[in-house]
Amino acid sequence: PMYFFLTHFSFTDICYSTVISPKMLVDLLSENKTISFAGCVMQFHGFAFFATAECHLLAVMAYDRYIAIHNPLLHMVVISRCICQRLVAASYLVAFLSAIVYTICTFGGSFCGPNQIDHFFCDASPVLKLVCSDTHSSEIVISITVAINAVGTGMVILLSYICILHTVLRTNSAGSR
C-alpha cells in the first residue's frame, strides 16, 4: 500500500509543478507576459486540484503508516488493495470538488477594467481584485473550504503520528521499538 500511495503522491507532485512551470518558462523567454482568461482558469483549477489532492494523499499515507505500525499483522487486511483504491479515489474526488468550489468562487463574479495580472501564476487574491462585484461571500467560502481541507488533513496527519508515537512508546522492549 505504501508504494501505491507514493505513486499517486509522486504523480500529483509532478502535475502540481507542471501546471505552473510551462507558463513561467514562456514568460521568462517572451516579451508578452499575459495569460488568457481561459488559461488562468485552467491553471488555477489544476493547481487547486493537485495541491488539495496532495494534502489528502499525505493524510491517507499517514493513516496507512499508523495501521502498519499499530497492527502490522492485520495491515494487509485493513488496508487491502480495494481500500487503497477507494482512499486514493476519495482523495481525488474531494480535491476535484474543492477545486471546483475554489474556481467558481474566484472566477464567478463579473470582471471589469484592465483584466491583466502581472504574474505567471493565477492566484485567488489578484483575480478577486479584478472582480467588480462584491467578493466578500466568495472569500468566505474559499477560506472555509481551504480551512476544512487544511485542518482536516492536518488533524489526520497529526493524530496518526501521535498514535504511532504512542504505539512505539508502549512497546516493552527496546529491540521492538
Measured distance between the N- and C-terminal CA atoms of the chain, rounded to whole angstroms? 22
Would the pTM of this model clear 0.85, i.e. be above it? Answer: yes
Q: Which three cell numbers stand for residue 39?
A: 488559461
Tracing cell 467558481 back to the chain, one arrives at 104
Around Cβ 2, how many Cβ atoms within 10 Å? 13
Helices (H), 30-172: 37-70, 75-78, 81-107, 124-129, 136-170
Residue type at position 72 = P
Tell me, what CATH number does 111's domain have?
A: 1.20.1070.10
Domain count, the chain: 1
Domain extent for 14: 1-175
Per-residue confidence (pLDDT) for residue 132, from 0 to 100: 84
Q: Which residues pair with 131 in a beta bridge?
A: 111
Q: What tens-digit pLDDT sequence spans the chain (177 residues)?
A: 899 999 999 999 999 889 988 888 887 888 777 787 888 889 999 999 999 999 999 999 999 999 999 989 999 999 999 999 999 999 999 999 999 999 999 998 888 766 667 677 788 888 888 888 888 999 999 999 999 999 999 999 999 999 999 998 888 776 665
Q: What does the alpha-carbon distance between residue 101 and residue 155 come to, in Å, rounded to a whole number?
A: 22
